[in-house]
Chains A and B, each alone.
Chain A
Amino acid sequence: MKVTLKVWRQKNATSAGEFKTYSSPELNENMSFLEMLDVINEDLAIKGEEPIAFDHDCREGICGTCSLVIDGKPHGPHKGVATCQTYMRSFKNGDEIVIEPWRAKAFPIIKDLVCDRKAFDRIQHAGGFISVRTGAAPDANSIPVPKEDADLAMDAAQCIGCGACVAACKNASAMLFVAAKVSHLGLMPQGQPERYKRVKAMVDQMDAEGFGSCTITGSCEAVCPKEISLDFIARMNRDYAVALFKGEPKKTAGGGAG
């Protein structure tokens, strides 16, 4: 099979980008989408042209690095599937495929299809952790966790932080990502001590990064490769309200651990 690609090319963060059109050589339909781009790039390199820069790492749907908007949908045509797990057999011979980067002010483009997602890291640093002393592994099940909570926490913890939610949202809102991170810790007993401090810090960092706000369009849930539910956003909204109304903790003199 052969396809035509309309790809966003942008030299660097400051230059204006534009679409360029490329025709593929003969492709095997069982190639992955990223392998198809590898083949195109090989061609470009041979011709002495700049290869198309795109992000990828594990190529098995677990790291959250791949990030292409394919024909207007982040991660391409399938539900619950990352770009790297998308195969050419999902397209038809002769298709024109439009490939764009994640587009958001908070995810500035570095080059071509690669954007800078450090805003997510800064949100995580603001509160996406629990403070525990490491040491010998604790006994299994020494802290009881209701099965339903464990399951829900696992659903939230599936988030691979790819940013497709931001890319898909018409408001470029990061709510689904932040909600997943807030919920996965907030549902566990180990996450309770910092539960309200965490949600406050992470949401405030999200706002500071310049993401848009949620208008409950459902795009994020529709494109999430891990099918994270909007329910978690409601959970975060609830926790944030509690955090606001609790107010800042009482100031204490002196130090103390943690």
Chain B
Amino acid sequence: MTLVQQIFHSSLGRKYVAALTGAGLFFFLIGHLAGNLQIFGPPDLINGYAHFLKSKPLMVWGARLGLLACVGLHLYAVISLAMESKAARPVAYAGGAAYGSAWRSRYMMVSGLVILAFVVYHLAHFTALLPGINGFGDFSKLKTELKDAGEVPDVYAMMVLGFRVWWVTLFYLIAQALLFVHLGHGLSAMFQSLGLRNHVWWPRIQIFAKVFSTALLIGYISIPIAITLGLGRDYSDRAKAGLNMPLGQQSAPQQGPADALVLK
């Protein structure tokens, strides 16, 4: 057997795959959060960032393929292992959760599957901009002017309008809470799976998992919560008003999205 075959054949090998792909996704989550937190700056900041990403298709598609590979391999590893584990106990015990098991560890599959559903929705919501699913309408019509780039998608308005739909916000919050649960276990589990643990490092690894899962939770939920509390409301109202305007009136004063930027 080749090394790759051995890795995918053995249970420990697939644990390494789950841990490494989980680590890859974790690093992505940090970078993605850093990008998203620019919503707390002026609209030009995140719109400029989105425009910068758009202008580097090679980088963006490289990252997307890498992430797709991580998700695919993570899923393959954990689902194949879970199926074997299920088969390993054909007759169940009389009742109750396994004695002494950490509660987060029992919800890894559930939290993971909800995260997966969320990722699919999130991509349809803000990447593919499917109009039917956002409770708002056609995000792709939201445009704004950037100084050096001309007309670009108005990502700031999209995010604000996106989270002004209560059930969208609720779903995002639920998914983030489950990601917190997933990473609360996963971030320490990955060290164990890769064999990077001893009695000295285990307490530190657990602190690492707590700190980073909490930091990601706070960082991510701060966005929909801030928007629900009013962040960018005026700006998005103006962007929306500009969108609904009949064609002939687009140049009406103080209404178009471009004007909104000038006002800022």
Contact = CB atoms under 8 A, between A and B. Distances in A.
Contacts, number: 149
Contact of A213 (B7, B9, B81): B81
A104 to B, nearest CB: 6
A233 B81 CA distance: 17
A120 to B, nearest CB: 14
B194 interface: yes
B41 interface: no
B100 A218 contact: yes
Interface residues of A, number: 51
Q: By DSSP majority rule, is chain A's interface helix, strand, loop, or mixed?
A: mixed
Nearest to B1: A248
Interface residues of B, number: 47
A213 B199 contact: no
B98 A214 contact: no
Interface stretch (A32-40, A59-67, A127-135, A202-210): A202-210
Interface in A84-124: 98, 100, 103-106
B16 A241 contact: yes
A78 interface: no
A89 to B, nearest CB: 21
Interface string A150-178: 00000000000000000011111100000
B15 interface: yes
Given A213-B15, A218-B105, A233-B192, 12 more contacts: A98-B94, A170-B106, A171-B89, A172-B85, A172-B88, A173-B85, A212-B81, A216-B188, A219-B98, A219-B101, A231-B197, A239-B195
Interface of A: 6, 17, 19, 69, 72-74, 98, 100, 103-106, 168-173, 203-204, 206-207, 210-219, 221-223, 229-231, 233-241, 244-245, 247
Nearest 10 pairs of A and B residues by beta carbon:
A222-B100, A238-B195, A212-B85, A171-B85, A212-B88, A237-B195, A217-B101, A234-B197, A172-B88, A170-B98
